[in-house]
Structure 1
Amino acid sequence: MSTNRAPAPRPETSPWVFSTREMGRRPGTMRTVTRSVPGPGTERADEAIGLVGVLAVPPGSPVELDLRLESVSEGVYVSGTAAAHLAGECSRCLDELDEDLEVRIEELFAYPDSVTEETTDSDEVPRVVDEHVDLEQTVRDAIVLELPLAPLCSEDCPGLCPECGGRRADLGPDHRHETLDPRWAALRERLPSD
């Protein structure tokens, strides 16, 4: 018996927790579920799904789950999709971004006392605890892994002018700032200006 035990899932009232009781431990038994899970609130930033301030599921925005739970010899295999609306800002011009994302979910939850549970750490393979699986971390990880490191409003976004901070797309192609090398500043004062 393994000494590594996963923490118990949150109460059954959590929308992320699914019961596997009716499937028993009969390999091949399967059930499909669809559920709309409300996104995290604004109370704690560490509960956000995504990168807060960059691109994340807005507080209270739902995550749509369309899943299949299948009993296999070592546990419950969960597969399907999770879809969510994301909000954030362009990393170049700081304009607001809104986009929809759908990610694939494929995760094995190990049964207690299975070979998988005994041979893996709890942070490698999640566990079936009290005939329930908690999908929050699985969905969170799948969404975060699909996020771009630097989200853009368009691939050719020109960004902001480093001198005045204006959006280059609005400023036009002839937008320039006169820059004078400080070493020549004294000479400029002595020359007449046209």
Structure 2
Amino acid sequence: MITVDTTVPSPLRIGVELIAVEEGAPLTMDLRLESVSEGVLVTGTVSAPTSGECARCLKPITGEVEIDLTELFAYPDSATDETTEADEVPRVGHYRGAETIDLEQTVIDAIGLVLPFSPVCGPDCQGLCPDCGIALADAEPGHHHEKIDPRWAKLADFRDGGEDDK
């Protein structure tokens, strides 16, 4: 068993359209790698800063994501390797004569599952005015636009003293 406590740059942008861990952002890993009968069991946490924009008002937001990892990397020719499909369980690989594990896809999948699909800057964010696009948090109290049903628009001319009031 070994422990790994390191920080590495994110190899690519990890996330959804509105919020993500940007490429090059620091991924802080606190992991424990254990040799078990079927392979290498990786447990621990990975954390990283996030950035994006609020889904309601489009203001920039930042935060942090922390994921818990538990993943088995199967040894070649183990019972797990022989009884599972190639894409079901990650495998221990070999690189320059040493056994290796590739955590990239595991971390990408785990972060993608915990990030919100529609991030908001706060639970009370009111969003944008649907008529003029101003952030409702910045608008004056009682901000609204008078809407006239197009079917009644001609009658509004009579009320306002328009040209059709003959």
Does TM-score exceed 0.5, indicating one fold?
A: yes
**Cα distance in 2, alignment partners of residues 191 and 176 from structure 1:** 20
Per-residue Cα deviation, 1:29-79 (whole angstroms, up to 9, x for no partner): x00011211123xxxxxx42111x311112211111111100000000000
Which residue, 156, 171, 174 being the options, matches 2:142?
174
Give the number of aligned pairs. 157
The answer for the alignment partner of 2:76 in structure 1 is 112
The answer for the alignment partner of 2:14 in structure 1 is 49
Which residue, 21, 37, 45 being the options, matches 1:73?
37
CA RMSD of superposed structures (Å): 1.2
1:122 maps to 2:86: yes
Which residue, 17, 35, 39 being the options, matches 2:6?
35
Amino acid corresponding to residue 31 of structure 1 in structure 2 = I
Which residue, 62, 76, 79 being the options, matches 1:98?
62
User: Aligned to 2:151, what secondary structure does the other structure show?
Assistant: helix
What's the % identity of the aligned pairs? 55
User: Aligned to 1:116, what secondary structure does the other structure show?
Assistant: helix
Per-residue Cα deviation, 1:6-32 (whole angstroms, up to 9, x for no partner): xxxxxxxxxxxxxxxxxxxxxxxx000
1:149 positional shift = 1.5
1:111 positional shift = 0.3
1:184 positional shift = 1.7
Q: Whose strand fraction is larger, Structure 1's or Structure 2's? A: 2
Segments of structure 2 that go 5 or more residues without pairing to the other structure are: 162-166
Amino acid corresponding to residue 173 of structure 1 in structure 2 = P
Q: Which runs of 4+ in 1 moved over 4 A?
A: none
Cα gap change, 1:69/1:147 in structure 2, threshold over 3 Å: closer, same or farther?
same
| Larger RCO, structure (CA 8 Å, separation 6 or more) | 1
Cα gap change, 1:192/1:54 in structure 2, threshold over 3 Å: closer, same or farther?
closer
Per-residue Cα deviation, 1:111-161 (whole angstroms, up to 9, x for no partner): 000000011112111000111100001111111111112111111111110
TM-score, structure 2 as length reference: 0.90
Segments of structure 1 that go 5 or more residues without pairing to the other structure are: 1-29, 41-46
The answer for the alignment partner of 1:11 in structure 2 is none
Amino acid corresponding to residue 3 of structure 2 in structure 1 = T
Per-residue Cα deviation, 1:145-193 (whole angstroms, up to 9, x for no partner): 1111211111111111000001011113310101111122222223345
**Cα distance in 1, alignment partners of residues 156 and 102 from structure 2:** 70
Larger Rg computed on CA atoms: 2
User: Aligned to 1:152, what secondary structure does the other structure show?
Assistant: coil
Amino acid corresponding to residue 83 of structure 1 in structure 2 = S
TM-score, structure 1 as length reference: 0.77
